[in-house]
Structure 1
Amino acid sequence: MRTGKSILLSLVMVGTLLVSACSSEPAAVEPSQGNGSQVSGQNQTGADAKTPVSAGLSEPVLASDLSKLPGSAKERTDTVIVGLTDPSGAFTPYFHQTGYDGNVSSLLYASLVTVDDQGVPVPDLAEKWEVSEDQLTYTFHLREDVKFSDGSPLTTEDVAFTWTLLHDKAYDGGTDLTSIGVKGGQDYKAGKAESISGIQIKDPSTISVTLEKPNATALLTLGSDILSKAYYGKDYKFGELEYIKNLHATPVGSGPYKLDKFIPGQEVRFVANEHYYKGKPKLERFIYKTTEGDTWQFIETGEQDYGSFQATQDNLDKLKGLGFLNLVPYTPSNYGFIQLNLEHEALKDKKVRQALTYGLDRQTIYVDSNQGAATLANIPTSPISWSYTEEGINPYEYNPEKAIALLEEAGWTVGADGIREKDGNQLTIHFLGSKRQSTDIFIAVARENYAAIGVKFEPEQFADFNSLVAKVESGDYDFAAFSTPLLTDPADGVVAFVNGEVKGYDNPKVKELYARGLETTDIEERKKIYHELYQVLNDDLPYIFTSYGKSVIAYNGRLEGFKVNPFRGIAASLPEWSLK
């Protein structure tokens, strides 16, 4: 299972929006669902993304009748409202308690490097960079006169501080900067050095960092959000990071917006940052509405200006019928999965994991029930990724006979009550999921499917995502339904299988292939490596891979400047939004 900060950095896909949140690795999120979905993403390395599409909608559709716009939406002249599940208030990058915190901080902070809508790295706070011929040294050049939201200058001292902080022995957040192997990084973390030798400040706008070996994800891992040394480093002492918690609620960033007010359970209010390097955003105010409720209702009444929905024909017809919404087809770069507790004895056996996959009618659960607004996933990457393949991949089509045969081979025989037993223990699956219609469908189908092959199925649902996370962290589960955040580089989709996040899973071949995939920047070479890696994971099934969702984005027809990036969501275009 995912543990600690990793799972708490969830970027949840329920409700309403697509934004970006920076991290060097993916985290578990709730799977997208039938009525509305919220998708969050990361800034990572990638290339050659395919054009996003959705079932039943291939081109954007403009609002047909803006006169139908609800009065509450017409009255707003300088504010856009988007829904978000209530964040925890830990708004400092690298220290988020939930992915919802990342949704907030993505508007408050800017990164050195970001990605365009093809997943290609492009400048952000850094106007340019160079990579040495041996792929070991990265030199970043900051833009002139870049400032934090308090008006103070952003320099390479802040960049060096951020990189150093993430090497601190007390840092336990979701970004593992040590994984890219900065020269001298481990010595600093071990307390053997007072600084990191691989980090060299050339001048206030130029900084270089040297790695121990090439790493394909280094550019954007290093190029993530920058923290103010004067603010976040004022009280910094090696090995002591508790003080940063006192700064979470009063962020100082360099992004397009500043935090105006956070009212837990109600909203997060932002005001445009006049110091933003691209210029003050066109929208003076932006609000995340964190009140619990139905996305459809909020959109219909004009309480929210944006919603992301599964691209079912029913949803498309209803959205078009409202008249005042622009619609955009969208396929996010993530995948859904069932997290398995591999520390439980039965699930340690690959044959059992395969049997439970063959014995689950995923087509009915994820595709048919959603009117085709999804496709089945069998590997840990999205179909829009350059690494995607179906060659040599087992589709695990529903086959209860095959499931029964595998369980018999694994020594699980049917007991007197019809439930399979082994060594005096029944084969029971304790499933955790959120309270919603799609989970109800999963439970109904899974209960019937597993009863047919002699597996006892015990579902448990949670209205509150954090409660679900706590249950998973306690280890009291067998299955838990999640999805990844937006993934750009294929390494992001498989890192959990090599860094210990998936407790109980340790495959040397997976680790070897993962390392090889990072040691070259040649896309074709990496593609071969990941294809082999996907075949191994497809056979091993440390997760049961479930689906790729197809969405339609609906937004207020008055909203201009709206664009969606398959890898960053709406955050990239938000500073350009305006209301006509």
Structure 2
Amino acid sequence: MKKRKIFSSVGLVTAAALTLVACGKSSNNSNEGAKSASKFPIETPVKEVKQGGTLKIAEETDTPFTGIFNEELQMSQPDADVASPGSEALFDTDDHYKINDKGPATMKLDRKAKTITMTVKKGVKWSDGHQVNAKDIEFAYEIIANKATKSQRYSSQFNLIKGMKEYHEGKAKTISGIEMPDGENGRVAVFHCTELKPGMYNSGNGYFWEYAAPYHYLKDIPFAKLEASDQVRKKPLYFGPYKVDHIVRGQSVTWVPNKYYWRGKPKLDKIIYQVVNPNSATQAIKSHKFDVARVVNAQWKQVKGTKGVNFIAKIPLAYRYLAFKVGKWDNKQSKNVMNPNAKMGNKSLRQAMAYAMNTDAVYKHYTDGLSFQIPTLIPEQFGDYFDKGNKGYTHNIKKANEILDKAGYKKEGKWRSQPNGKPLTINLLAKSNTSIDGPIVQNYIQQWNKIGLNVKLVGNRLTEFNSFYDKVQHDDPKVDMFLGGWSLSSEPSQQQMYSEGTMSNYSRFVTPENTKLIEEMDSQKAFDHKYRVEKFHEWQKYMNDEAYVVPTYNEYEIDAVNNKVTGYSRKPSEGNKLFYQIGFAK
């Protein structure tokens, strides 16, 4: 998946469970789950595939999916998941996410001319039979950049395409830097840029978009009405292997083969994505209700002996985090603006809260080691970009107290006050999803209470997914900090998540040093790999010190797959053609 951004899961259980975790003395603190998962394959055994059959896939969420079937407007993982049988990116990649020529389109970079040329292959057609063309590529940029769509995908990264900024600001009716040499109905789009970037050879770099939008199908809908339109919500078009047959709003999507699919005929008669509550996932797996279902890590022990399934495992390009709100998104200026008087603006307060968290112990307790603490905002899968010498924040209540004392957060009775003497109450936004989310969040609150910080849940409870998402994106003033998560792009550039000009910088922090480091890691000098690695290491050190966003954990993703299914793979090189090749064995 490219450029998916998500929020993590964060539901109520008993106080009895809490004390165990807070003490960290449970006999449950093992890594047996992780030891098992590390040995699981990344794909199902290869077998001869038969034609036909219905594949049932569980979409595990405790809330209905929003049902936005358009990549340019879509922001939640459940929407991306249920759209995946039809949604196909323009480019295939190898297992290191390097773009190759095997996908629906090819890409060529010309550093001297500062151009990107995308060519759609002949025969790549929308599910209504229309050839995907240059205008479809260009139109996707219009959807992202036109303020009327309210797309969350726009980022200042796109401004290196000439004319993109002017179009976004409403000063131009077209994007001047996107040329269609063979006309709108041709298959070639040439992007004229101010410069090319080192990450552009890889998928997920954030400087260009990797999807197309059906212009002929959507052109008559005003941009302001696009997200709510039937063409996006009920009858979307895709050029992937399957097309939408039926949608039960927020609950299920049924897919049937796209007879125009460019790679050939897909194997299945039907794919059904069905919402199931994560708390019911174990029963669904044990009763073989679905052919593919994600294991909830806290429930691993209950499902590990299930017969008739292959367990497929991967540590995804993702992480969960704690973020502190220190500003707002300014829509007029299209940038994040910090509030110099933000409650969470004091670095000492943020650092102390990070040291107080017992992330490693709490997740080992609940998930048998399948979820594990990570030290920095660059995951280990990014190879030498990951700074393995950076240890991050480990549980240290004594150090947390010392930091707060030194910074002037005086204790008056049970709670500390602000350095200016005013009372301090910190409002935490956390999302409900699985049964362990409640006790884990309550555990963190207990840890913060131990250092004299009065932390309360927004609304005194965990927040439903869509409401959580809305509050974070729109900078709800009642939120001081939140527990979120990213599903990451496959190119490690940090522009699209933490720069001044991206809406996705939900903490809203902007500092000259952060801007400088992010620009340096994507600069012309960064075509030198050693230089780029240095800048990534500097950025990780800086971000950990500032603690605007504190990484918490990543986890194994284990899928229980019917052992009659073949062609299921989590390899990056297989991702774009997964639904074309998946089927039942003969």
Which residue number corresponds to residue 60 of structure 1? 40
1:575 aligns with 2:563: no
1:242 aligns with 2:219: no
Q: Work out whether residues 428 and 455 of structure 2, in 8 Å CA contact, stay in contact via their aligned partners in 1.
A: yes
Tell me how far 1:226 sits from its aligned partner. Answer: 0.7
Please report the TM-score for the alignment, with normalisation by the length of structure 2.
0.81
Tell me how far 1:511 sits from its aligned partner. Answer: 0.8
Cα deviation code 1:451-490 (max 9, x no counterpart): 2211123234336211323444423223322211133111
Describe how 1:498-577 pairs up with structure 2 within 5 A: 498=500, 499=502, 501-519=505-523, 520-565=526-571, 572-577=577-582
Which residue number corresponds to residue 260 of structure 1? 245
Task: Sort the Cα spacing of 1:78 and 1:169 in 2 relative to 1 into closer, same or farther, 3 A.
Answer: closer
Q: Work out whether residues 362 and 376 of structure 1, in 8 Å CA contact, stay in contact via their aligned partners in 2.
A: yes
Q: 1:527 is paired with a residue of what secondary structure?
A: helix
- Equivalent-residue separation in structure 2 for 1:130 and 1:107 (angstroms): 27
Tell me how far 1:318 sits from its aligned partner. Answer: 4.3
- Equivalent-residue separation in structure 2 for 1:62 and 1:534 (angstroms): 29
Q: 2:116 is paired with a residue of what secondary structure?
A: strand
Of 262, 266, 270, which aligns to 1:281? Answer: 266
1:272 aligns with 2:257: yes
Which residue number corresponds to residue 293 of structure 2? 307
1:330 aligns with 2:330: no
Tell me how far 1:395 sits from its aligned partner. Answer: 2.5
Q: 2:36 is paired with a residue of what secondary structure?
A: coil
- Equivalent-residue separation in structure 2 for 1:379 and 1:301 (angstroms): 39
Task: Sort the Cα spacing of 1:571 and 1:308 in 2 relative to 1 into closer, same or farther, 3 A.
Answer: farther
Aligned-partner residue type, residue 426 of structure 1: P
Which residue number corresponds to residue 124 of structure 2? 146
Q: 2:118 is paired with a residue of what secondary structure?
A: strand
Which residue number corresponds to residue 432 of structure 1? 429
Which residue number corresponds to residue 70 of structure 1? none
Of 494, 497, 500, which aligns to 1:495? Answer: 497
Task: Sort the Cα spacing of 1:133 and 1:515 in 2 relative to 1 into closer, same or farther, 3 A.
Answer: same
Could you list the runs of 5+ residues in structure 1 that have no partner in the other structure?
Answer: 1-19, 35-52, 65-75
Tell me how far 1:266 sits from its aligned partner. Answer: 3.2
Which residue number corresponds to residue 466 of structure 2? 466
Q: Which has the higher mean CA deviation after the structures are superposed, 281-290 or 424-433?
A: 424-433
Q: 1:339 is paired with a residue of what secondary structure?
A: strand
Cα deviation code 1:22-53 (max 9, x no counterpart): 44x7443436999xxxxxxxxxxxxxxxxxx9
Which residue number corresponds to residue 402 of structure 2? 405
Tell me how far 1:405 sits from its aligned partner. Answer: 1.2
Cα deviation code 1:326-382 (max 9, x no counterpart): 012311111110122225743100011001111222221233432222332232121
Cα deviation code 1:283-307 (max 9, x no counterpart): 1211111243511111111221222
Could you list the runs of 5+ residues in structure 2 that have no partner in the other structure?
Answer: 14-32, 45-51, 328-340
Task: Sort the Cα spacing of 1:572 and 1:523 in 2 relative to 1 into closer, same or farther, 3 A.
Answer: farther
Q: 2:263 is paired with a residue of what secondary structure?
A: coil
Q: 1:268 is paired with a residue of what secondary structure?
A: strand
- Equivalent-residue separation in structure 2 for 1:556 and 1:577 (angstroms): 12
Tell me how far 1:497 sits from its aligned partner. Answer: 4.7
Of 138, 146, 157, which aligns to 1:168? Answer: 146
Of 183, 188, 195, which aligns to 2:174? Answer: 195
Q: Work out whether residues 416 and 424 of structure 2, in 8 Å CA contact, stay in contact via their aligned partners in 1.
A: yes
Task: Sort the Cα spacing of 1:30 and 1:572 in 2 relative to 1 into closer, same or farther, 3 A.
Answer: farther
Which residue number corresponds to residue 47 of structure 2? none
Tell me how far 1:438 sits from its aligned partner. Answer: 2.8
Tell me how far 1:168 sits from its aligned partner. Answer: 2.6
Tell me how far 1:386 sits from its aligned partner. Answer: 2.5
1:294 aligns with 2:280: yes
Aligned-partner residue type, residue 206 of structure 1: V
- Equivalent-residue separation in structure 1 for 2:199 and 2:67 (angstroms): 29
Aligned-partner residue type, residue 164 of structure 2: G
Which residue number corresponds to residue 215 of structure 1? 197
Tell me how far 1:571 sits from its aligned partner. Answer: 6.0
Task: Sort the Cα spacing of 1:433 and 1:355 in 2 relative to 1 into closer, same or farther, 3 A.
Answer: same
Tell me how far 1:562 sits from its aligned partner. Answer: 0.9
Q: 2:40 is paired with a residue of what secondary structure?
A: coil
Cα deviation code 1:100-129 (max 9, x no counterpart): 222233332322224333222234654432
Q: 2:53 is paired with a residue of what secondary structure?
A: coil
Aligned length: 524
- Equivalent-residue separation in structure 1 for 2:199 and 2:364 (angstroms): 33
Q: Work out whether residues 26 and 492 of structure 1, in 8 Å CA contact, stay in contact via their aligned partners in 2.
A: no
- Equivalent-residue separation in structure 2 for 1:135 and 1:546 (angstroms): 43
- Equivalent-residue separation in structure 1 for 2:385 and 2:56 (angstroms): 36
Q: 2:84 is paired with a residue of what secondary structure?
A: helix
- Equivalent-residue separation in structure 2 for 1:32 and 1:571 (angstroms): 34
Tell me how far 1:130 sits from its aligned partner. Answer: 1.7
Tell me how far 1:256 sits from its aligned partner. Answer: 1.5
Q: 2:383 is paired with a residue of what secondary structure?
A: coil
Q: 1:279 is paired with a residue of what secondary structure?
A: coil
- Equivalent-residue separation in structure 2 for 1:31 and 1:55 (angstroms): 25
Of 222, 227, 230, which aligns to 2:216? Answer: 230
Aligned-partner residue type, residue 242 of structure 1: K
Tell me how far 1:137 sits from its aligned partner. Answer: 0.6
Describe how 1:343-354 pairs up with structure 2 within 5 A: 343=327, 345-354=342-351
Which residue number corresponds to residue 165 of structure 2? 186
Tell me how far 1:179 sits from its aligned partner. Answer: 1.8
Task: Sort the Cα spacing of 1:298 and 1:356 in 2 relative to 1 into closer, same or farther, 3 A.
Answer: same
Aligned-partner residue type, residue 360 of structure 2: Q
1:356 aligns with 2:353: yes
- Equivalent-residue separation in structure 1 for 2:565 and 2:461 (angstroms): 37
Task: Sort the Cα spacing of 1:256 and 1:523 in 2 relative to 1 into closer, same or farther, 3 A.
Answer: farther
- Equivalent-residue separation in structure 2 for 1:109 and 1:303 (angstroms): 25
Which residue number corresponds to residue 37 of structure 1? none
Cα deviation code 1:305-324 (max 9, x no counterpart): 22223667x72x54442211
Q: Work out whether residues 135 and 214 of structure 1, in 8 Å CA contact, stay in contact via their aligned partners in 2.
A: no
- Equivalent-residue separation in structure 2 for 1:423 and 1:131 (angstroms): 55
- Equivalent-residue separation in structure 2 for 1:445 and 1:191 (angstroms): 48
- Equivalent-residue separation in structure 2 for 1:566 and 1:477 (angstroms): 36
Task: Sort the Cα spacing of 1:178 and 1:321 in 2 relative to 1 into closer, same or farther, 3 A.
Answer: same
Task: Sort the Cα spacing of 1:560 and 1:405 in 2 relative to 1 into closer, same or farther, 3 A.
Answer: same
Q: Work out whether residues 166 and 177 of structure 1, in 8 Å CA contact, stay in contact via their aligned partners in 2.
A: no
Tell me how far 1:522 sits from its aligned partner. Answer: 4.1
Tell me how far 1:533 sits from its aligned partner. Answer: 0.8
Aligned-partner residue type, residue 59 of structure 2: G
Q: Work out whether residues 142 and 206 of structure 1, in 8 Å CA contact, stay in contact via their aligned partners in 2.
A: yes
Q: Work out whether residues 82 and 304 of structure 1, in 8 Å CA contact, stay in contact via their aligned partners in 2.
A: yes
- Equivalent-residue separation in structure 1 for 2:59 and 2:226 (angstroms): 31
Tell me how far 1:418 sits from its aligned partner. Answer: 4.4
